[in-house]
Chain A
């Protein structure tokens, strides 16, 4: 395997792994902050338990999200040094701002919240969890503005003298619609992820008649937020799609396996490609729908992948500008279908709240809904990154020109295998703890840690 393939796998795996934990952190932080506020307003002990219980799951998840985030910040320089040289003048800024504005806020105030109960004034403790939640979500904004710039570069010029891209309009960078659309979509997806975790865990306990009041209250919060958030994800995604049609037409058309330009364009429900992923064998299509998705109008023209390829060759020189369609096409369909399913389920859960749902037979299947947002989150992230290929920065720099030239296959094999081993082990510990605390219920979470009998740990004498 050549260094570029290994570097791409490493970036892909570490990023996807990191993003397994991020949405839950983003979404659950608001729930925990809300429950904390409810407790301080009502002094209802049940809310204190809710804060502690969901807060415990939040922290177990947060720990891995945070440490794997460090890798992300270092990886641009480590594996993609030519990228860093070429766009560092622009791309470094949001990363530095993210650390300065968001990471400090998130980590400092989370520490105050976790360790401060009973030690710091109540108002400070209360404010700390909100500041931590805001800090987390603010970090998402800055990294998505950075990613938005890679998808749709704005506010820059190419400096011919030193051969790199340079920032000329910081305001354009921070108001890039691409970044803000990603932010909206991601924040809502985070809330959906948290809602479905809460719904699933609550259902598990409700059917076992454990802490029913506690979990019915949680279930209700999950269902309400779940419906609102998954709907926002949908509208965010739809707007995102239309902006993609304008700014990244190749990604848009490859998502739809839309080979030839047509007006109006039909939407592919299922397309079977050949093994190369570059040719269509058979498809089932809905007339005019793709035009609507692209521009809210049933008759607009949607350019096909083949025409775009020809245009790109004319503009950027010879090369393959078509993303791996089997990935873009199917990840989009996973994301969409699971997204719709979650909207539908959240709506049904909300309706069920009016009846005697705690005894319903279907409740035993509900814990499985926890996996749904993860499928959608992964698919969406892979789609947006793979859909940009072969570009690392759309229209400016290709992935193959971005890699660190000094790295050898051996270097990359060591790091790739190392990350997989470490990440895999930690994922095991994380799933074990999440499951343990989720099943143990709120009473276990009231203790800060499970106490060991007076045993000595690791001491020989």
Chain B
């Protein structure tokens, strides 16, 4: 396999890992943010947490694998992005930490105060993670100050520009909608009604934000700065988002969930094709941008990692998919069948 082919392959693989992460953990984050608002009584909250209980940790591994794969395949991308987005990533980590521990701990003590505290940790942790992820990706699309030595020269406030913030808010809205759609599939009775009502309201806000973000991207010229024009992909992303509203109004929860899933996938495809072959666009000087060529590992490392990935990625996909199949039933809202 040629060096160029391997670099493109790894760009695609990392894109796939991020797509998987956004699609899977996207609804986890949404469920986490909705928890204190949809769940009024304790067992309702437990039902909500149990709907993602068996899978959230496995979903989060997509992020770890994306991070590890970036480190292995494009060390300069990993180094510049992680050190450059330092405080944002620190807050993201805090969000992931408090949320992960809270899932496990919230039901292990009977005190309502204890449980309420951990429920809010789940919600706030999920919110932090969603906003920061969205802001980070928007900034990657916009470009960040990088000098000729691949060094990030901004700070936290560099990332807090209107486009970055809009990216953060829009991503949060999409995750909320995606999470609500997931809960619509997993819950029963009154809770299911409640979450469906919420989904319709969230849908309106999300659609508006999404269209504004799209127009901003186009007008500001963040569009197709690489060699690929995403073309109809973002149009399709808007179409499936509109279709989500239709399916929500017709109580077709399965289709609504498929539509938000597609929206997330298409959004990510748009993002990665918009930037390719850049991995980090420099707003200082386009010549300083990190690309799949100047940021990559050696041909040998990429070859070894390709063999490892080609063997193990399909295996992981099979067993993770299979667990979703095994736990496909709706969560019964009675204490006996709840775990967390």
A84 touches B71 (CB 8 A): yes
Interface size on B, residues (CB 8 A): 84
Closest to B82 in A: A77
Contacting residues, chain A, for B61 (C-beta < 8 A):
99, 103-104, 107-108
A341 on interface, CB distance cutoff 8 Å = no
Residues 397-450 of A contacting B (Cβ, < 8 Å): 404-408, 411, 414-415, 418, 422, 426, 429-430, 433, 436-437, 448-450
CB of A52 to closest CB in B, whole Å: 12
CB of B107 to closest CB in A, whole Å: 3
Contact residue range for chain A?
35 or more
Contacting residues, chain B, for A363 (C-beta < 8 A):
none
CB of A75 to closest CB in B, whole Å: 8
A119 touches B105 (CB 8 A): no
Bound CA–CA A343/B55 (angstroms): 40
Task: Report B174-200 CB contacts with A as 1/0, cut-off 8 Å.
Answer: 000000000000000000000000000
B36 touches A458 (CB 8 A): yes
Contacting residues, chain A, for B323 (C-beta < 8 A):
108, 111-112
A457 touches B41 (CB 8 A): yes
CB of B189 to closest CB in A, whole Å: 17
Task: Report A77-92 CB contacts with B as 1/0, cut-off 8 Å.
Answer: 1110110110111111
Bound CA–CA A13/B47 (angstroms): 37
B319 on interface, CB distance cutoff 8 Å = yes
A451 on interface, CB distance cutoff 8 Å = yes
Closest to A117 in B: B339
State the total of A-B contacts with C-beta under 8 angstroms. Answer: 263
Interface of A (DSSP majority class): helix
Closest to A426 in B: B101
Closest to A97 in B: B308
Contacting residues, chain B, for A63 (C-beta < 8 A):
100-101, 103-105
Closest to A173 in B: B304
Residues 58-107 of B contacting A (Cβ, < 8 Å): 58, 60-61, 63-65, 67-73, 75-76, 78-84, 86-87, 89-90, 93-94, 96-98, 100-101, 103-105, 107
Interface of B (DSSP majority class): helix
Q: What residues of chain B have their CB less than 8 Å away from a CB belonging to chain A?
A: 36, 39-42, 45-46, 50, 53-55, 57-58, 60-61, 63-65, 67-73, 75-76, 78-84, 86-87, 89-90, 93-94, 96-98, 100-101, 103-105, 107-112, 115-116, 119-120, 150-153, 155, 297-298, 300-301, 304-305, 308-309, 312-313, 316, 319-320, 323, 326-327, 329, 335, 338-340
- 25 inter-chain pairs at a CB distance below 8 angstroms, sorted by A residue, are A67-B96, A77-B81, A81-B80, A85-B150, A88-B79, A89-B297, A92-B75, A92-B78, A103-B65, A104-B320, A108-B58, A111-B53, A112-B323, A120-B326, A406-B152, A407-B83, A411-B87, A415-B90, A422-B94, A433-B108, A448-B340, A449-B108, A451-B110, A454-B42, A457-B115
- Please name the 6 residue pairs, one residue from A and one from B, whose CB atoms are nearest each other, closest first: A88-B75, A77-B82, A92-B72, A449-B107, A92-B71, A96-B68
Q: What residues of chain A have their CB less than 8 Å away from a CB belonging to chain B?
A: 59-60, 62-64, 66-68, 70-71, 73-74, 76-79, 81-82, 84-85, 87-93, 95-101, 103-105, 107-108, 110-112, 114-116, 119-120, 124, 159, 166-168, 170, 404-408, 411, 414-415, 418, 422, 426, 429-430, 433, 436-437, 448-452, 454-459, 461
